[in-house]
Every structure is written in C-alpha cells, then in structure tokens.
C-alpha cells in the first residue's frame, strides 16, 4: 500500500517535553547557484554557500528541514539584493512558524576593472556575504566584502637607501545598513580598495606596472593606516549604522602577518 503525504507521520511536529527552545535550527552550507543584483541593472549568477535558520519553540521536537530547501530553491532563479533578503526571511518565519530567521549568503562577486594607463579591462573576484536577521523588532541587514590591496611599509621605506618591502594585504569589512538604506557591493569595494597603498588589478601591461608600483611607493601605509583611513570613510557614509573593518598584510620579509581592526556604531 502506498501512503499519501497526509497519512505519513509528522515526527518533527511531535510535542517535546524538555521545554528547551533553540535559537537556531535549519540548513547550513547549502551550495547552489544564486542570482545577485548588480548596481547598473541586471544580475550576476554566482555559486553561493547559504545558511538559513529559524528559531525552534520549546514545544516542537524538530523543524522541517525540507522547507528551508524549498524556500532557497524558489529564490535561486530570482535576482536578489536587500529587499529580496527581507522577503526570504519573512517567508521563512511564516512557513516555519518562527519568531526569528537568519540567512547568510556567501559568494564570489566579480567586478570589471580597468588598468590605470593602458585601459585594458579584466574581472576581479571579491569574497562577499549577505547577512540578514529578522524578528518582531524588524530586520538587520549586513554586507561583508573582502578586498585585496597592495601596501608598502613606511618604516622600511624610511630606513632603506633603496626600495622598501611591500605585500598584498586584505581589507575585510562588514557594514550594517541604516533602515531603508542600502549599499551596493561595487560601492563598498571601491571605498575600501582606495585605502590601500594601491589597488590590485587583474590585467596590467608594462606601463600599468610602472604606474601602480610608483603610486604605491609614494603612498606607504601600515595596516594601522589602512584601517584608520577606512574608518574615516565609513563614518561619513549615512547609509551605514555599524561597521567592522580589519586589514591583514602577508608580510614579505616576515613569517607572520600584520593585523589591525576596528568596530564602531553610530
């Protein structure tokens, strides 16, 4: 005999007598294609890793894991930015009968960059994350990006007769949006990469290499300088109500990395 769904036992909905509510249950590390809205209209298809959670009241034995996947499958072919994240979380709370919902979407976002002299273009990938948390109090939206830059050591430059040591550094930032406001990935990336000694480019000819090398050496920065300059820029952006920013430089003459960070809210 074949049972129809209504005849199958719903074990997850059994009552649990331990009276222990859980803050987060759901699916973690779901890998699937996702469409991310781009600043100049359209969208970019990315390979995303998604976590989607909801709270579980003390009286339910378990959650319905398949419902989380159903939600993600429904949204993976629809371009997403902050307004759509809000809809996903609202749907999650409704379908799971939950008070709170959380989503994290991690992906590599590609931006076209033009070489400073030759004008040749290529694409550079930036690790990015959309984060959303929703409850009866409203929604908290965050955007995270990881931006590679070049840094030149001011101390090395000051004490050396010739040259200075330089390295690739990474600026990592998370920003929390002011309610009703939004920052595009492209805007946040550009704000941050301008704070290094020099940008990183996907394609450079000789004339470009000369330009970026000389520009970097005229603009030496410690990781402390990079973070402080990022802080000053982020403070001025009214779309941001909270941020954290850090810079890590893989030192070229040391085995360790140099590191600095700061977190602030309005």
Domains, the chain, with CATH or none: 22-265 (3.10.270.10)
Distances (CA, A) of 93 to 54, 76, 89, 103: 7, 18, 6, 11
Q: What is the pLDDT of residue 95?
A: 92
pLDDT of residue 21: 83
Q: Is 226 helix (H, G, I), strand (E, B) or coil?
A: helix
Buried b (16+ CB within 10 A) or exposed e, 225-257: bbbbbbbebbeebebbbbbbbbbbbebeeeeee
pLDDT for 180 equals 83
Measured between alpha carbons, how far is 220 from 227 in angstroms, rounded to an integer? 13
Centre a 10 Å sphere on the Cβ of residue 260 and count the other Cβ atoms it contains.
17
DSSP E strand stretches across the chain: 22-37, 43-56, 101-114, 121-135, 138-152, 166-177, 198-199, 240-250, 257-265
Distance, in Å, from the CA atom of 51 to the CA atom of 105, rounded to the nearest integer, reads 7
pTM (two decimals): 0.90
Q: How many other CB atoms are there within 10 angstroms of residue 141's CB atom?
A: 23
pLDDT of residue 14: 60
- β-pair partners for 34: 46
* pLDDT in the model for residue 61: 76
Per-residue pLDDT tens, the chain, 266 aa: give them: 555 666 655 565 666 667 788 999 999 999 999 999 999 889 999 999 999 999 988 777 767 789 999 999 999 999 999 999 999 999 999 999 999 999 999 999 999 999 999 999 999 999 999 999 999 999 999 999 999 999 999 999 999 988 889 999 999 999 999 888 889 999 999 999 999 999 999 999 999 999 999 999 999 999 999 999 999 999 999 999 999 999 999 988 888 999 999 999 98
């Amino acid at each position: 005999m074949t049972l129809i769904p209504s005849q199958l036992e719903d074990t997850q909905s059994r009552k649990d007598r331990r009276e222990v509510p859980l803050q987060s249950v759901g699916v973690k590390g779901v890998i699937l294609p996702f469409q991310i809205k781009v600043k100049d209209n359209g969208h970019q298809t990315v390979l995303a890793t998604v976590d989607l959670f909801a709270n579980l009241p003390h009286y339910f034995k378990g959650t319905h894991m398949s419902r989380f996947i159903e939600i993600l499958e429904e949204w993976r072919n629809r371009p997403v930015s902050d307004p759509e994240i809000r809809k996903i979380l609202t749907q999650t709370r409704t379908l799971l009968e939950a008070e709170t919902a959380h989503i994290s979407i991690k992906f590599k976002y590609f931006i076209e960059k033009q070489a400073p002299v030759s004008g040749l273009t290529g694409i550079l990938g930036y690790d990015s994350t959309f984060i959303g948390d929703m409850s009866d109090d409203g929604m908290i939206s965050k955007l995270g990006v990881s931006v590679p830059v070049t840094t030149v050591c001011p101390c090395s430059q000051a004490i050396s007769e010739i040259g200075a040591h330089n390295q690739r550094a990474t600026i990592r930032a998370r920003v929390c949006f002011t309610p009703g406001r939004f920052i595009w990935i492209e805007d946040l990336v550009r704000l941050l990469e301008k704070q290094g000694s020099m940008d990183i480019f996907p394609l450079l000819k000789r004339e470009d290499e000369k330009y970026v090398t000389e520009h970097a050496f005229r603009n030496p920065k410690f990781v402390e300088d990079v973070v402080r300059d990022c802080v000053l820029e982020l403070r001025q952006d009214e779309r941001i109500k909270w941020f954290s920013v850090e810079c890590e430089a893989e030192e070229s003459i040391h085995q360790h990395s140099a590191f600095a960070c700061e977190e602030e809210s309005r």
